[in-house]
Amino acid sequence: MKKLADTVANILMVLMAILLVVVVALAAVQVVTRYFIAVQIIWIEEVSIYFVTWMAAFGVPWMWLRRGHIKMDVLSFVLPEKILHILDYLSNLVGVAASVAVIRIGIRAIQVNSGYVLSVIKMDEGLRYYPVLCGGILFLFATVTVLTQMILEDRERRRT
């Protein structure tokens, strides 16, 4: 389970890095063409927003799999270890519920917006919401995986 989680986390990290490089390159092209050549490439902003949305969809599950999400460090000084462990379980359960909600919202948004073309790049508006759906699915995978790892680690600790 841990090996699969690490593999998925590494793939998400690589995808985010590639998208980040592309977004930075597009921004540089836009600055150069706008200020030095006096030509504005209007599709760059739309593509950049779309890629940043994918980065967010990949970033949340990546951080969750790495257990790098934001925690309240102050609580670790105040609360007992057992309570913190219970809070970790609760945060993963809330993550499962949130990911299911995001998946449902993503599906509904795709259904409602499919068939409309409003963008400069002539992209179906339903495609804009695929990062929401994919991010929800990946987040569900991440929360269930971390929850499973926690359960297995607790079982192993009890045996020793």
pLDDT digits (tens, 9 = 90+) for 76-119: 788 888 998 898 899 999 999 999 999 999 999 999 999 888 77
The DSSP letter of residue 42 is T
Higher pLDDT, 70 or 126: 126
Q: Is the pLDDT of residue 72 over 70?
A: no
DSSP 84-105: HHHHHHHHHHHHHHHHHHHHHH
Burial class, 94, CB count within 10 angstroms (exposed 0-12 / middle 13-18 / buried 19+)? exposed
> Contact at 8 Å (CB) between 126 and 113?
yes
Find the mean pLDDT for residues 18-34. Answer: 94
Residue 71: the pLDDT is 67
For residue 4, name the pLDDT band (cuts at 50, 70, 90).
very high
* Lowest mean pLDDT, pick from 12-26, 38-52, 95-109: 38-52
The DSSP letter of residue 119 is S
| CA distances for 9 relative to 22, 40, 45, 65, 68, angstroms | 20, 37, 28, 6, 11
Q: Is the pLDDT of residue 74 over 80?
A: no
pLDDT digits (tens, 9 = 90+) for 142-157: 999 999 999 999 999 8
